Amino acid sequence: MTRHMMLTETEATNEAVVGGDGKYPAKWIRLPVRGHCPYTGLSRAAYYQLITANKIRTASLRRPGTLRGTRLVWLPSIMSYLDRFATDGVSE
């Protein structure tokens, strides 16, 4: 990151989501331009809904004084959020 870039973060409210548990690669990913994310299958619109609700950890990289930037999402926070909705797959 150059000295002209500014980083702002939106932290998730759940500590488990922010911390991650090491099950997923610790890396930042870009939002999909069109289509769906190759990691999660979520669309850009779905990501922005989660970002607005502060459910996942994000960072916005932009130069000071500019309106546009690059939105990055912390992959472990997305996967931890999705894990909360997973079922064991065991039927009775």
Q: What confidence tens digit (pLDDT) does each residue in 63-75 have?
A: 999 999 999 999 9
Residue 34 in any domain: the answer is yes
Q: Is the pTM of this model over 0.85?
A: no
| DSSP string of the chain, one letter each residue | --TT-EEEEE--S-HHHHH--SSS---EEEPPSSSB-TTT--BHHHHHHHHHTT-S-EEEEE-TT-S--EEEEEHHHHHHHHHTT-------
Average pLDDT over residues 47-58: 95
At 8-23, the pLDDT tens digits run 444 333 333 344 466 7
Whether the predicted pLDDT of 30 surpasses 90? yes
Residue 35 in any domain: the answer is yes
Whether the predicted pLDDT of 5 surpasses 50? no
What's the domain range around 64? 6-83
Say how many domains are in the chain.
Answer: 1
Residue 1 in any domain: the answer is no
* % the chain with pLDDT above 90: 62
pLDDT score at 21: 60
Residue 92 in any domain: the answer is no
Residue 12 in any domain: the answer is yes
Residue 90 in any domain: the answer is no
